Chains A and B, each alone.
Chain A
Amino acid sequence: MQWEAVIGLEVHVQLATQSKIFSGASTAFGAEPNTQACAVDLGLPGVLPVLNEGAVAMAVKFGLGIDAEIPETSIFDRKNYFYPDLPKGYQTSQMYQPIVGPGEVEITLDDGSAKRIRVHHAHLEEDAGKSLHEDYHGMTGIDLNRAGTPLLEIVSEPDMRSAKEAAAYLKAIHAIVTYLGISDGNMAEGSMRCDVNVSVRPRGQASLGTRAEVKNVNSFRFVERAIAFEIERQVELLEDGGSVIQETRLYDPENDETRSMRTKEEANDYRYFPCPDLLPVVLDQAYVDHLRASLPELPSEKRARFQNELGLSAYDASVLSSSRAMAEYFEAVKDAGGDAKLAANWVQVELAGRLNKEGLDIADSPVSAAQLGGLVARVKDETINGKAAKKVFAALWDGEGDTADSIIDAQGLRQVTDSGAIEAMVDQVIADSPVQVAQYREADPDKRGKMIGYFVGQVMKASRGTANPQQVNALLKDKLDNA
């Protein structure tokens, strides 16, 4: 039987506010335990929440960024359950009237085609603290610094059909929130966390299969692998005549598998009800319009501009707009280098290849955009040829010079375009290679194309790579063919 996977994602994004969603405590990462947990965050008796405008603005910006409806009124509810990292015994969240209504996110598939994933809604809520399981005499330690950090939970429709689509969706969300500057998107620090709902069904069946929720998938790679594992597990189960049970599973990256979280897990009953300590949040049109006017160019807009105005291919435009860091880097290279296609090529091929090999993020690139732009400018004005350019790039990577120009000068890589100098080198090579010249001249004209490579190589060697290859080629051809 042919199976089809149906996947939906719940992405929790920590918003980049200075202070917490309901208190004036700092949200900075990495402080000593409980030093950023104020009376409100600790849920001391008698404390009350007051909503942070920054969190509201960021949530609305996200909504505008995915063309979502922004309802005039949203309401905070309490989700009641006991857990040591949840100080008040409830999480303040939005169950029934979220701040962001339905919207859409466009993802690019491997074949370059686009697909729209619907977002059901996004709501604001407070993050919980952390449980530290190092040994405190058999006890668990609770750090509430993270408690009250604003989260935007973005809930997709079950519109994805493969692990790759899910990963592409997560990347698209990452790009949007980082473009908007509403989150640092740092998955390693938990700024973006993801729960995945997966079910499978026979291809062509309209109704959905029973889904499992997989928690704790906190990197692009893990999302893809956890879903792939889960699809395989469910298909195997069904093909063996079993059935999928609705449950929560945990992804274990070390063993690359998902595990049922608790066998005895009781049915949750969160007893949602409107938080009586917070009033309805009412956003007037002027406020929303003001935020709309402040939106930066978003990934989809950038992609379109890269394609339409800069003439990049659909693939290049998509890759270069995929993250804010990548796009900003590329645009800086393009501006300094004066050529969009050359810049795209250098960023995509040389730089991305090297970064990938070294396992570095573009933000950590040892070659700055200004440096690479300087290099591109010299390729564009033919100061150096392609071969020399690679040498300059390697030197920049290794920190052997501050600018492409200084490296070009120091290593004498300036391209020789003086035809007299090139002709002298060509003549010398022809004179030094009588055997090869004779073979060339005896060969069929259609084989000569390949044979000329030897002479080109000799001339380039003689010029230490600086001769203009086109000129060398033309001169050689002329002299060998017409002697």
Chain B
Amino acid sequence: MHDKTLTELAAALAAGEFSSRELTEALLARIDRLDGELNSFITVTADAALEAADRADQARASGQAGPLTGLPLALKDIFCTQGVRTSCGSRMLDNFVSPYDASVVEKLAAAGSVSLGKTNMDEFAMGSSNENSYYGPVKNPWDLAAVPGGSSGGSAAAVAAGLVPAALGTDTGGSIRQPAAFCGITGLKPTYGRVSRYGMVAYASSLDQAGPMARSAEDCALLLGAIAGHDLRDSTSVARGVPDYRETLEASLSGLKIGLPKEYFGDGLSPAVESAVREAIRVYESLGASVREVSLPHTDLAIPAYYVIAPAEASSNLSRFDGVRFGHRCENPTDLIDLYKRSRAEGFGEEVKRRILIGTHTLSEGFFDAYYKKAQQVRRLIRQDFIDAFEDVDVLMGPASPTPAFDLGAKSDPVAMYLQDVYTIAINLAGIPGLSVPAGFANGRPVGLQILGPHFAEARLLNVAHRFQQSTDWHRRQPAFGKENA
């Protein structure tokens, strides 16, 4: 059961091949057996999962099953889940049992899905390797010496290792697409505002977006349909109808115009990754698409602009963690300042502190115009690059990451780590959707092809990815990890 896609599992449940309880029990057993090594879950909610599975089986028995009924999922531990610890990968929230559900959690539960638990992540979603978690690093099931990527590393590793068929992640600068690429799964970052952020612990509010991580584009379409939509509790969510993303999956790619941003194929791109990506593009040509080179001239400014905007927003968003109403509080504070300083110093890890300090500094008096305002101006230029490019082409394609997954501990320098996100970060600044699909391997580690589209072009991206997956089997490959015991 563990190697099936969501769509296949849905069909099997519908056909009565097994029950949701049987499926859930099998996956819980697998998590129990394998996750000690992988460390992809922070919290496994076995009891609640079994109850939900039983409810789903009853619903099915009474003819009330929907498309997600009884399907197991996992949630990045950034989504508030009522009655369950929601840690955000931080000591700060190690003791935080959320009193409420995030909007997407509510929607998935209402759709009858079964949450197996909360997945590991870089603390407060800050990182590209999942090494910044208070709960320890996650390993890449393709190679236990490699990182799974981040920040949604736990979700990516769990799906790749067959512990759960699909999971939710969040993406602020590549945190769905890069781990999806590193772990050989399909991950979609929707248009900013497509999915409600209510109940998702904020890192950088103008960039954060939740999305599905699964074994196929078809599964992503199923999940996106369940979580997308306007939410009255999120002012930045968009009041716009949600199409049935599965309906358009099969559309022909004949005449599809693909742009290859020349800036995404330059220095620093691993030749093995490039060759896998170019091979994938040839598949598209064989499906009737045309390819041309385009330019996104402000690409090299995306990381600098991001490292002003995201830390600035984060420095403010993370001020609420002050040891007063929830979260970590230091022992015996001597006075108010001591309470704040020690609780925050003890509760936050190094990378989080680094970004809080950067953001605090760049927003402070005398620096605001040179940093924050300038970065927002550059943000407009970056968005315009994409708007201009989509005048000429339907989608953009390129690598999701310049290299395949790197070794645990290989990037101790923060700036070197930041540069990892060179192909993913601009997409968040522009607010457009982006998707990573498995497109081969480089030195035994998966390579992701990134597909980008204009605002609200999710249906098109899923269609383009799905047709590729009908012509290739990269997304069906499975790591050796866990196989011998399966």
Residues of A within 8 A of B (CB): 39, 42-51, 78, 80, 82, 84, 87-90, 142, 269, 271-273, 276-279
Contact = CB atoms under 8 A, between A and B. Distances in A.
A45 B326 contact: yes
18 contacts: A44-B100, A45-B93, A45-B96, A45-B320, A46-B200, A48-B233, A48-B234, A48-B235, A80-B315, A82-B322, A84-B336, A88-B320, A89-B318, A89-B319, A273-B368, A278-B235, A279-B235, A279-B236
B316 A46 contact: no
Chain B interface residue bracket vs A: 35 or more
Contacts of A277: 202, 205, 235-236
B235 to A, nearest CB: 5
Contacts of B365: 269, 271
Interface string B313-352: 1011011111011110000000010001000000000000
A338 B109 CA distance: 69
B336 A44 contact: no
B326 A44 contact: yes
Interface in B181-202: 197-202
B41 interface: no
A329 B80 CA distance: 54
Tell me whether chain B's interface is mostly helix, strand or loop, or mixed: loop
A280 B62 CA distance: 48
Contacts of A42: 325
Interface of B: 79-80, 86, 88, 93, 96, 98-100, 102, 197-202, 204-206, 232-236, 312-313, 315-316, 318-322, 324-327, 336, 340, 360, 363-365, 368, 372
Contacts of B80: 44-46
Given A46-B98, A46-B102, A47-B199, 7 more contacts: A46-B199, A46-B201, A49-B235, A50-B232, A89-B322, A273-B312, A276-B313
Contacts of A45: 80, 86, 88, 93, 96, 98, 201-202, 320-321, 326-327
Contact of B325 (A50, A51, A87): A87
Most buried by A among B205, B233, B316: B316
Nearest to B323: A84
A48 B316 CA distance: 14
A307 to B, nearest CB: 47
Contacts of B201: 45-46
B363 A142 contact: no
Contact of A50 (B197, B235, B316, B363): B235
B320 A87 contact: yes
B235 A51 contact: yes
B316 A84 contact: no
A273 B363 contact: yes
A152 B102 CA distance: 31
A51 B202 CA distance: 19
A277 B203 CA distance: 12
A43 B93 CA distance: 14
Contacts of A39: 99-100
Contact of B324 (A51, A142, A278, A279): A142
Contacts of B205: 276-277
User: Which 6 interchain pairs have the tightest Cβ spacing?
Assistant: A89-B319, A276-B205, A271-B363, A276-B206, A43-B320, A46-B199
Contact of A82 (B199, B325, B340): B340
